[in-house]
Structure 1
């Protein structure tokens, strides 16, 4: 398989995953090595809910401190929500959404989300897995990727 075809295939799987690189680069060295890439694809294609929760939490924890703060929620939601023309200040709507999200997900009421808070909320309502923006491939993209990869196994023999 040539580089262009592999890039197109990968783009199919990851087109909605804005934070893919940060989530795959586990050692934070600025590069995704083969091991990180394979582990990331494994999670995307066959990961358990637990693995996907851990991955999404790490993507949402922008500063890597083990918590998702109000500021991190605001930043992610501001970047992932569609801009709506209105008279109201869009930042106020996002702040309201952050407060609503905290009421729903912050089980220990400390004003930020720990992994335990996030996990409990996602187990209660799996739609909250990507509450702050897309970071996993949608099912259609996943099926397209798998159909291409598993269509002709001989195609990978020349790599």
Structure 2
């Protein structure tokens, strides 16, 4: 009834074409790609990670943190086709970007998480939301004075916003993170 489309089924098999695409877009070897795939399929037998499963993975790494809010935003750069799930190719390409990419590519990945409206800009409200989510993730409870997410977001905008529009473009974000290690440590801590 209606216009419901059947969900696209995912093959659990890794084809040579898929390996070729992943090899040409990452620095992983054939064997590494196959090992990643085997591990991915063991953890995600459906061949996809949904938001609930994504949260479960983060809970393993941050057992004392509140991961839900952070994961809501961290999921977005992985789900490049915006279908609400992460398939193996999306997963491995994101991992490669975060671990093998040059600094600019890794900062673009981080920018995409902060760009909640997907308009190519980060506003102060978005910064406050993500800084608060990072605090929740790591169990940071001291949010007074210089630790206040509102103050931190306002300071970051003031320091990095070169054109005075009270927003950060991708260029401003990347340049600011590259030129200010303290800001990079806060906004992109794993880079």
SS at match of 1:32: strand
What is the distance in 1 between the residues matched to 2:100 and 2:129?
A: 29
The TM-score, its normalising length taken from structure 2, stands at: 0.56
Higher relative contact order (CA 8 A, sep 6+): 1
Q: Which residue of 1 aligns with 2:141?
A: 83
Q: Which residue of 2 aligns with 1:106?
A: 161
How far apart are residue 123 of structure 1 and its match?
A: 2.1
What is the distance in 1 between the residues matched to 2:127 and 2:78?
A: 20
What is the distance in 1 between the residues matched to 2:143 and 2:114?
A: 27
Cα 1:85–1:44 change in 2 (3 A) is closer
1:58 aligned residue (108, 112, 115): 112
Q: Deviations over 1:37-86 (max 9, x none)?
A: 12012112211111101100001111211111111011111222222287
Q: Which residue of 2 aligns with 1:117?
A: 172
What is the distance in 1 between the residues matched to 2:153 and 2:104?
A: 24
Contact kept, 8 Å, 1:107 with 1:117, in 2: the verdict is: yes
RMSD of the alignment, in Å?
3.2
What is the distance in 2 between the residues matched to 1:125 and 1:118?
A: 10
What is the distance in 2 between the residues matched to 1:51 and 1:66?
A: 15
How far apart are residue 95 of structure 1 and its match?
A: 1.8
Contact kept, 8 Å, 2:128 with 2:150, in 1: the verdict is: yes
Which runs of no fewer than 5 residues in structure 1 stay unpaired? Answer: 139-159
SS at match of 1:62: coil
The TM-score, its normalising length taken from structure 1, stands at: 0.66
Cα 1:45–1:85 change in 2 (3 A) is closer
Contact kept, 8 Å, 1:80 with 1:133, in 2: the verdict is: no
